[in-house]
Structure 1
Amino acid sequence: MSKPALWTKDFIGIALTNFFLFMTFYFLLVTLPVYVLNELNGSETEAGLATTVFLISAILIRFVSGQWVEHFGQKRVLIASLVLFLAASTLYPFMNGLAALLILRFFHGIGFGMATTAAGAVVANIILNSRRGEGMGYYVMSMNLAMAIGPFAGLAIMNEWGIKTGFLVCIMIAAVSLLIGLSLKKDEVIQPPSGERFKLNVSPGHLIEKSALPIALTGLFFAIVYSAILSFVSVYAEELHLGSAAGYFFVVYAIVIVLSRPFTGRWFDQYGANVIIYPSIALFAAGLLVLSEAGGAALYLIAAGVIGLGWGTLFPGFQTIAISRARPEKKALATATFLSLFDFGIGFGSFVVGAAAAGLGFKTLYAVCAVYVLAGIIVYYFVQKTGKQPESSPL
């Protein structure tokens, strides 16, 4: 019996929409701090606020955007959010003050939070259960590729042509994301109730999907350590005097994910989550340990590959479990719950890990992170033992 199709027009479309959405996010993530410091004469703390404000608004809006998806439909919310995301992107060239920039970042984060929630609901209903692990793995890979290409392109364009040109490129990327989103077909699984006015329900049961909460908290647990990679691996590379090799960490990371994805996603579907999750945790820890021992470019880039194989498999696995355990009409809320807690873990982790790095140094920090990740095996064991199992394939 042949497998159900995975690479449909809509699956490719939502993956590309997500890729260009995250391209814009990572492009600005690395260039805006430089813009705040050099063009707006801000401090390092003020430069950090440009990211913090964005993530705060994205997290907050996700708690209600799941309800919007349930009522108005996936595509309507997706298109509205992409329009808002593009509109905010067009205003960056006109921001000449820090206060105005931070207000813009807040609204840009709203568009991003809505779009990632709606896109997650769209892809969850496109992929059939029998190929959910494989499909979600490829979908998340679009974020991984954006994380490798976005910062590289952002810094290269800014250094060659200036930040204003970079802003124009962001506008074009956001526009492409919207155009591809418009090509997606209308909702099939979730339909907004006809004739019923939307009423926001702020009770915990409507802001958080209970079935996704255990695995979302597990994702938060690991996200705290992942923030040590996102926020400080480039600073660590400077400490090691790696020069140009430092910029290839996320390139190697992404290459390993691309090469491993056809196998890891398929194994999820065939053998279940545990067969993949436990080794992935061990690989993530091993990569952090190698990173702590790096003295040159070779071990540094080997660590990138091992971390890519470990964390690059864990993240889509956790998100897929969260979606699989939710009822069809609650998949958007499950996505919002998972991503909100994950982003909170990144934000909280950046603060905690930064404080720890100041006292321990990066080598010791990454060694401690490796032990922390291994302890996550216990966390996941109890979550998967007590949690409700998904209806068919765990992924």
Structure 2
Amino acid sequence: MNTEKPILWNRNFVQCCISYFLMNFSFYLLMPTMPLYLVEVLGIDTANVGIVLSSYTIGLLCVRPFSGFLVDCFSRKPLYLLAFFVFAVMFGGYLVAATMLTIMAVRFVQGGFMGLTSVSGNTIAIDVIPSVRRGEGMGFYGLTINLAMSLAPLVAVVIYDKWGFHPLVLVGLVAAFIGVGSVCLIRYPKREKMPRPHFSLDRFILVKALPAALAYILVAIPYGMITSFVVLYGKEIEVANPGYFFIYMAVGVGTSRLISGRLVDHGKIHWVSVCSSVCLLVTFAVFATVHHPVAFFVCALMIGIGYGVGVPAFQCLFVNVAPHNMRGTATSTYLTSFDLGVGIGMLSAGFIASHAGLAMAYGVGGGCCLLSLLVYLRWVRPSYEKYKLLV
């Protein structure tokens, strides 16, 4: 009996990781510098910067629910290639857009195609990963976005300070087109022709995964609070260089994902998910109440570990209850849940902070983690055990 595990790091999986990294790297080059460009160069009022930045999220959320349907209906690699190509081309729009409305339009369209690109790319990655190593594979695959989010801002600040915004855009454009080339190298077999599914709710949302979606939305809310307001919070509690928070967080995510996926593959998906929620619950409680630089950065590390452990497990909660012809819908539901939670977190953190301070906002974030844990124990676990598939 052959007990050797199938190869994970084959040509296709490597190219999937490279293309996903380059897509996120090119996009996150603009995240730390776009506000500076809007205010300092275009003279846009600071109050309107958030509106410009959020147009990307609106475009992404408009497309995500339908992208799973498209991925399940059409050939996945050509769709991935087309979406990635348009995403890359849209970097050229930043070179000619010179007003608030035109930049919003560019970000809206690019956000929509990034939504389609991420769903098709994730689905192809799931297809090429051996089913017995799915948790481990998705852990490494997801790690690429954390590397991109950590490296891109460092590179972006250097380029922007030396040469300005447009050269930075050109770097993003080149990186994105290299990513398109990487997609071309993926050897992905053509799917057998299947009858086109009729339009129904379960073609846009994976109904079997709705309990997991609710739990994931709740745990993503404090993540949205972190990404948007943590630097401001660090300044409020007098932490020097609060921007280093993201480096510690990235270290936590990276180290935890090296082991969490393997635990999921060994049948410990519920244990991993519960540990993730408990870790985040305790950490956000400390983060909201202990105002000390050491606690600030230790919490950054622990928040990274909490999300790094939980993300591969949550993705498998969606994918493992979906048949092969609905993996696109499963991936779309998974990503849409996270994006929705992040959006709620961004909006609610600003509202709570204006009335009761950011410490209270992060306390509420801890409460969301508690609710997520309760939802998981009450509904997600029994639902998953009922509907999970063997492959």
When normalised by structure 1's length, the TM-score is: 0.92
Are 2:234 and 1:237 aligned?
Answer: yes
Are 2:298 and 1:302 aligned?
Answer: yes
Residue 337 of structure 1 is matched in structure 2 by: 333
CA contact (8 A) 2:56 2:108 kept: yes
Q: Decide which moves more: 384-393 or 116-125.
A: 384-393
Q: Cα–Cα, structure 1 residues 158 and 240, in superposed 2: closer, same or farther, change >3 Å?
A: farther
Displacement of 1:104: 0.9
For residues 212 and 371 of structure 1, the distance between their equivalents in structure 2, rounded to whole angstroms, comes to 22
1:82-129 Cα distance to aligned partner (Å, 9 max, x none): 110111012212111111111111111121011001011101111122
Displacement of 1:12: 1.3
Residue 179 of structure 2 is matched in structure 1 by: 177
| Secondary structure of the structure 1 residue equivalent to 2:89 | helix
Gap runs ≥5 in structure 2: none
The partner residue of 1:385 within 374, 379, 382 is 382
For residues 255 and 264 of structure 2, the distance between their equivalents in structure 1, rounded to whole angstroms, comes to 16
Displacement of 1:294: 4.5
Identity %: 27
Displacement of 1:144: 1.5
Are 2:327 and 1:325 aligned?
Answer: no
Displacement of 1:13: 0.9
Residue 115 of structure 1 is matched in structure 2 by: 117
Q: Decide which moves more: 57-66 or 101-110.
A: 57-66
Displacement of 1:346: 1.2
Residue 8 of structure 1 is matched in structure 2 by: 10
Residue 361 of structure 2 is matched in structure 1 by: 365
Displacement of 1:71: 2.6
Residue 351 of structure 1 is matched in structure 2 by: 347
Residue 203 of structure 1 is matched in structure 2 by: 200
Residue 286 of structure 2 is matched in structure 1 by: 290
CA contact (8 A) 1:325 1:390 kept: yes
CA contact (8 A) 2:349 2:358 kept: no
1:1-395 to 2 correspondences below 5 Å = 1-187=3-189, 190-193=191-194, 202-244=199-241, 246-381=242-377, 382-387=379-384, 388-392=386-390
For residues 391 and 274 of structure 1, the distance between their equivalents in structure 2, rounded to whole angstroms, comes to 15
1:45-103 Cα distance to aligned partner (Å, 9 max, x none): 42112232111111221222222222321101110011101110122121111111111
**Alignment RMSD, CA only?**
1.9
For residues 45 and 184 of structure 1, the distance between their equivalents in structure 2, rounded to whole angstroms, comes to 44
CA contact (8 A) 1:10 1:126 kept: yes
| Secondary structure of the structure 1 residue equivalent to 2:6 | coil
| Secondary structure of the structure 1 residue equivalent to 2:371 | helix
For residues 89 and 193 of structure 2, the distance between their equivalents in structure 1, rounded to whole angstroms, comes to 26
Q: Cα–Cα, structure 1 residues 20 and 84, in superposed 2: closer, same or farther, change >3 Å?
A: same
* Alignment-mate amino acid for residue 310 of structure 1: G
For residues 109 and 130 of structure 1, the distance between their equivalents in structure 2, rounded to whole angstroms, comes to 33
CA contact (8 A) 1:59 1:340 kept: yes
| Secondary structure of the structure 2 residue equivalent to 1:29 | coil
* Alignment-mate amino acid for residue 388 of structure 2: P
For residues 343 and 312 of structure 1, the distance between their equivalents in structure 2, rounded to whole angstroms, comes to 16
CA contact (8 A) 1:70 1:192 kept: no
Q: Cα–Cα, structure 1 residues 299 and 174, in superposed 2: closer, same or farther, change >3 Å?
A: same
Q: Cα–Cα, structure 1 residues 118 and 101, in superposed 2: closer, same or farther, change >3 Å?
A: same
For residues 301 and 340 of structure 1, the distance between their equivalents in structure 2, rounded to whole angstroms, comes to 29
Displacement of 1:202: 4.7
1:133-157 Cα distance to aligned partner (Å, 9 max, x none): 1111111111122222222322332
* Alignment-mate amino acid for residue 209 of structure 1: L
For residues 342 and 108 of structure 1, the distance between their equivalents in structure 2, rounded to whole angstroms, comes to 19
1:179-230 Cα distance to aligned partner (Å, 9 max, x none): 1111111235x4454xx8x79x653232222223221222111111211111
Gap runs ≥5 in structure 1: none
Q: Cα–Cα, structure 1 residues 296 and 169, in superposed 2: closer, same or farther, change >3 Å?
A: farther
* Alignment-mate amino acid for residue 43 of structure 1: D
